[in-house]
Structure 1
Amino acid sequence: MYGSENNREDSERTAFRRAEKKYKLYYDNNASSKNKKKKQPKSVDLTEVLDFRSILQCHLQNGALPPGVIVLHDKFTSPVFSLQNHPGFYFIPGALNVEKQCSLIRESLVDFPQPPNRTNHNAMYGPVQDVFVAAKEGKVLVEDNSDSPKGWKFTTEKDASLRKCRSVSGSALLRKLRWSTLGLQFDWSKRNYEVSLPHNKIPDALCELAKQLAKPALPAGVEFRPEGAIVNYFGLGDTLGGHLDDMEADWSKPIVSLSLGCKAIFLLGGKSREDTPLAMFLRSGDVVLMARDARECFHGVPRIFTDKENAEIGHLETQLTHEDDLCFLKYIQTSRININIRQVF
C-alpha cells in the first residue's frame, strides 16, 4: 500500500520536481538521534550528474568531449562549454582563481549586505548594518524603543540581557541571511526592480569582472552592462526551487552567475517543468552564463554538499589561513554563495 502511494505521488510530480526530490538532502529515518547533525544523510546516486571539471581535464588531455557538449576556444581565455540542446547556456569551470574567490567571499559577507542594499532581514528589522561584524564580535540586535520611529540596533550581549525587548543574536542573523541585492534593488513582493529604492552602483571591480565573463554569451562588439545583482546564501539543507529569471527587459543579455564555497548540484531544465532537467556540479570558482533561449529554461539548486569529503573547498582552506580570515573560513566551510549579475534594461 505504501509503495503504491509513493509511486502515485511521484507520478503526480513534474519532471523537474522529481529531479529536485532525487538530489535533495534527506536523512536516514532509522537513525536513533533526532539531531540532524548526528544523522547520516541518505546516499544519492550521482552517476548522471554532469561534471565539467572532469570534462575540462579530459578535453585538455586528449580533446575528447561527451555527446552533446560543445567547447568554445575563441571567445575567452580558457575553454567555455555549451550544450547542444540548451542554446544560450555556457559553463566556464574554474573561471575564478582562488584569490578572486576569497575576495568575493569577504565582500559577500561584509560589504554586499550593507544598506542601502536590501537583504531578507529588511522585512523584519529594517536596514541592518554590519551583520557579519556583529556575528564575529558576539553582538545582539535589540529593538530600540527610545527612538521614534522604533528601530533595531546592535549592542553587547550583557546590555541585551538587561533590556526587556525583542532581540536576536548577530550569529543567528548571519545564519539566516539568504539574499542581498546590489545595484538596482529587486522588490520580491512585486517581483520587479524598484528603481525608486535607494541604491549604490555595483562595485566597479565586480562590474568589470562580469563584463569580461559575459563575453562568450554575446556577439562581438556587444557589451554587457551590469545594473543589478542578487547574492544568494545557502546553508545546510538549503535549496533554490525551480524558477525562471524573467524580470529583465532584454533576455538576449546573459545572467552572469558566480559560484563560491561548497559544491552544489545545479538543475537546468527546459521551458516547461515537465521537461526532464540536466544535473551538473557547481564548484567554487565556476561561472555559468544564461542568455537567449536559456533564459526561458527552469533552473534551480536542490543540493549543496557541506560535508568535508564532498564540499571540495580545500583550496579555500589553504588560502584563508590568516587570523583575520578564520571567521570567513568557518562560514564558507558549511555554506555556498552565488552572485548573479544582470543587465536590467
Structure 2
Amino acid sequence: MFKDSFKFYKAKWPIPDFSDVLDFDNCTAKGIKEFGLDVDSIYEDVLPGLKPVYSWKCYEIVDRPGLIFIRNPFTPQGQRYWMTRCIRDYPKSPNVVNLSKKLFSQSVIDDWWNSFQNCSDKDDKRRMKVAMRWTTLGYHHDWDSKHYSEKMKNKFPSDLAQLSEFFSKALHLGKYSAEAAIVNYYPIGTTLAGHTDHSEADLEAPLFSFSFGQTAIFLIGGTTKEEKPAALFLRSGDVVVMAKESRLCYHAVPRVMKANLESWNDFPSVYKCEIEPPTNDWDLDTQLFENCADENFWSPFRQFVNDSRININVRQVLREGQLSL
C-alpha cells in the first residue's frame, strides 16, 4: 500500500490527482483536528523569526497518533535565516556532506557554498547544485551501518538546538536535547523513498522536521509498508513533529513541486526587518538575521530556493541522563 501511494504521487504523467492530499490551509478536511496548544502561554521571549506561539495553527491527523503539524509558524525573515544557515553554513566542514571525493575537490567538500558561488562555469555550477543532497550535524549518521558513533560527531549548532528545544517546550513535549540533524536538499522533481528513523538510542523523544522553500507531498504511514499512508502538503515554514506512535512510522517524499506562494518573500510593506532584533538571550547570528531582510544579500539564496526544497530533521540521540554512546 505504501509503495503504491509513493508511485502514484511520484508519477510525472499523467499528473496525479491531489484531491486526497491533506491541505492545512483548508482544515475543514476530514481526519484533521486542532492540536490543543495552551493558549494562555504567551511566551513573551519568543525566538526571533517565529510568530507568537498563541497564533500558531497546530493540527493532528486523527488516525496518525503522535503526529503534530504546525502551519508555518515562521516569519518571512525567520524562514530566510534558516534557509541561509542551511545553504551557506551547515554544508561546511567539519559537518559531513554527501559529495564524493571522486567527483569534487576537497575545497568544494569543505565549503560547498563558497565554491558554488565562485564557480564561473555554468555546467559545473549546475552539477554542484544537483549533487548536494544532504549534510549531517552533531552526531553524523552512518548510512551504511545505520548507527551513530562518538568518533563521528562535532558540536551541534546552538541556534538549531534552541529552535528545537523551543518547539518541544511550546508543544509540551518535555525536555529535549537536539544532538543530531540531517539537512536534505531537494531540487524540484526529486524524491525520498519510504523509510523509518530508528538509529537513535532514545526513540521516545520526538523528531522535529522543518520545511523551507518549494512545496512537497509528504507520506506518513504505519509501522509496516502494508498500511496505506496519509498524504500531506508541506509548504515553506511548515513543521512536522513525529512523536509517540508516529515516531517509528514509515514516511517518504514522493514529490517536490513549485510553490504557489513564496511566503519567505512576503514581508509587510511597512518594514523590512523584524520589529525586535535578536537579543543575547538567543544564539542566533544577529548580523545574519538582519542581513536576511536585505534583498541584495538575499539574492543568491533566492536563486537557490527558486527550484529547491530544504528540510531539516532534528533528533535526540541519547536518553535523558546518558552522556555518550
* Aligned partner of residue 97 in structure 2, secondary structure: coil
Distance in 2 (alpha carbons) for counterparts of 1:321 and 1:19 = 42
Pairing 1:291–2:264 present: no
Tell whether the 8 Å contact from 1:228 to 1:343 is kept in structure 2 after alignment: yes
Distance in 2 (alpha carbons) for counterparts of 1:224 and 1:285 = 21
Tell whether the 8 Å contact from 1:132 to 1:170 is kept in structure 2 after alignment: no
* TM-score of the two chains, using structure 2 as the length reference: 0.78
- Of 192, 196, 200, which residue of structure 1 is paired with 2:147? 192
| 2:116 aligned partner | 135
Q: In structure 1, what residue type is equivalent to 2:24?
A: F
Distance in 2 (alpha carbons) for counterparts of 1:194 and 1:261 = 32
Higher radius of gyration, 1 or 2: 1
Q: In structure 2, what residue type is equivalent to 1:183?
A: G
Tell whether the 8 Å contact from 1:231 to 1:339 is kept in structure 2 after alignment: yes
Q: In structure 2, what residue type is equivalent to 1:202?
A: F
Q: In structure 2, what residue type is equivalent to 1:322?
A: E
Residue correspondence of structure 1 range 207-286 to structure 2 within 5 A? 207-215=161-169, 218-219=172-173, 222-286=174-238
* TM-score of the two chains, using structure 1 as the length reference: 0.74
Superposed CA deviations along residues 256-290 of structure 1, whole A, max 9, x for unmatched, are 00000001100010111010000010000000000
| 1:44 aligned partner | 16
Higher relative contact order (Cα pairs below 8 Å, separated by 6+ residues): 2
| 2:2 aligned partner | 16
- Tell me, which stretches of 5 or more residues in structure 1 are unaligned? 1-14, 28-41, 56-63, 141-156, 158-167
Tell whether the 8 Å contact from 1:132 to 1:174 is kept in structure 2 after alignment: no
* Aligned partner of residue 263 in structure 2, secondary structure: helix
Superposed CA deviations along residues 117-169 of structure 1, whole A, max 9, x for unmatched, are 001115545572222122222257xxxxxxxxxxxxxxxx9xxxxxxxxxx93
Distance in 1 (alpha carbons) for counterparts of 2:306 and 2:133 = 16
- Of 64, 67, 86, which residue of structure 2 is paired with 1:108? 86
| 1:315 aligned partner | 263
Q: In structure 2, what residue type is equivalent to 1:69?
A: K
| 1:87 aligned partner | 65
Distance in 1 (alpha carbons) for counterparts of 2:252 and 2:178 = 22
How far did residue 202 of structure 1 move? 2.1
- Of 177, 183, 203, which residue of structure 1 is paired with 2:132? 177
Distance in 2 (alpha carbons) for counterparts of 1:123 and 1:67 = 47
Distance in 2 (alpha carbons) for counterparts of 1:321 and 1:44 = 38
Q: Which runs of 4+ in 1 moved over 6 A?
A: none
- Of 297, 305, 309, which residue of structure 1 is paired with 2:257? 305
* Structural RMSD (CA): 2.3
| 2:311 aligned partner | 338
- Of 53, 56, 64, which residue of structure 1 is paired with 2:25? 53
* Aligned partner of residue 100 in structure 1, secondary structure: helix
Superposed CA deviations along residues 80-133 of structure 1, whole A, max 9, x for unmatched, are 211222111100111222111101111111100001100111554557222212
* Aligned partner of residue 69 in structure 1, secondary structure: strand
Tell whether the 8 Å contact from 2:211 to 2:309 is kept in structure 1 after alignment: yes
Distance in 1 (alpha carbons) for counterparts of 2:308 and 2:164 = 23
* Aligned partner of residue 211 in structure 2, secondary structure: strand
- Identity level (%): 32
Residue correspondence of structure 1 range 114-153 to structure 2 within 5 A? 114-122=92-100, 124=102, 125=104, 128-138=109-119
- Tell me, which stretches of 5 or more residues in structure 2 are unaligned? 40-52, 268-292, 319-325
Structure 1 residues 217, 254: CA separation in 2 closer, same or farther (over 3 Å shift)?
farther
| 2:286 aligned partner | none
Distance in 1 (alpha carbons) for counterparts of 2:172 and 2:38 = 12
How far did residue 249 of structure 1 move? 1.3
Distance in 1 (alpha carbons) for counterparts of 2:199 and 2:101 = 21
| 1:73 aligned partner | 37
How far did residue 69 of structure 1 move? 2.5
* Aligned partner of residue 132 in structure 2, secondary structure: coil
Q: In structure 1, what residue type is equivalent to 2:307?
A: T
